[in-house]
Amino acid sequence: MPRGQKRIRILVVDDSADFIDAICCFLEILPNVAVIAKGRSGRDAVTLAHEWMPDLVLMDVRMPEMTGLEAASQLMRELPDVVVILMTAFEDEGIGQASEESGAFAFVMKEHLTQELPRLLELAASQKGWNQSTKNWGRPAQPAPALATEFETQVQQLGLTKQTCAASAELRNWCERNRNRCYIPEWLLNAWGIHVDPTISGEARPR
């Protein structure tokens, strides 16, 4: 996806904290992608999707409380504009069929995720029209979609770049005040040694 187009806002859900860390690190290097929230169960997926209104939910199939298949089916009923991509580490012929029946956009094996996900994001963006300036990116109707997160806006106001963020005392103070409330890149939190309340369901959840 060419740089400069709108960001795909992603909710990542998996019962493995280590896997969430790994896939989020991968997503951070993709252009025009923002992980806005993280969850650990199918029930988290439904709750966080209603709260954050993501464009796309990347979700494991096997999870406690509610499976990814069950969560996908519920999301398709309640938030039909949200794209759901299901993933699993276990080969099972029945999962692919169940994924299709749930209404999920795609199903992919975790071992192939880094190869397949960029293509799937391109495909979803094309089919959903996310690259068109008239689309509202899965959010409630409003005069103009918000393209930048609060963190990105703060960085722009301070005139910083990715290379100079860590050296800014003013940005660090802002991040410390807001670390449990809004998105802050994990690489920056780690550089400063800032810890985030693990009970917070948001993008700034620590490793």
pLDDT tens per residue across span 54-99:
999 999 999 988 999 999 999 999 999 999 999 988 777 788 888 8
Q: Is the pLDDT of residue 193 over 80?
A: yes
Output the pLDDT for position 152. Answer: 78
> Is 56 within 8 Å of 85 (Cβ atoms)?
yes
- pLDDT above 50: residue 11: yes
Q: Is 70 exceeded by the pLDDT of residue 132?
A: no
Query: Same domain for 95 and 164?
Result: no
Quick check: 96 and 73 in contact, CB under 8 A? no
pLDDT reported for residue 135: 40
97-112: pLDDT as tens digits: 888 899 999 999 988 8
- Residue 66 within any structural domain of the chain: yes
**66 and 27 in one domain?**
yes
**Whether residues 172 and 105 fall in one domain:** no
Please give the sequence-ordered ranges of beta strands (E in DSSP) within 65-115, or none if there are none.
83-88, 106-109
**Which pLDDT belongs to residue 137?**
36
Give the model's pLDDT for residue 1: 44
One domain for residues 29 and 63: yes
**pLDDT: is 116 or 3 the higher one?**
116
Q: 105 in a domain, yes or no?
A: yes
Give the pLDDT score at 197.
Answer: 54
- Whole-prediction pTM: 0.61
Got the DSSP string for 138-165?
Answer: TSPP-SS---S-HHHHHHHHTT--TTTG
Neighbouring CB atoms inside 10 A of 102's CB total 21
**Residue 138 pLDDT > 70:** no
**Residue 16: pLDDT over 80:** yes
Q: pLDDT grade, residue 13 (50/70/90)?
A: very high
What's residue 131's pLDDT?
65
Cα separation, 57 vs 12, whole angstroms = 6
**pLDDT at residue 201 in the model:** 36
Claim to verify: residue 27 and residue 117 sit in the same structural domain? yes
Q: Residue 44's domain spans which residues?
A: 8-128
CATH classification at residue 77: 3.40.50.2300
Whether 124 and 170 map to the same domain: the answer is no
Shared-domain flag, residues 94 and 179: no
Q: What is the pLDDT of residue 177?
A: 83
Q: Are residues 158 and 117 in the same domain?
A: no
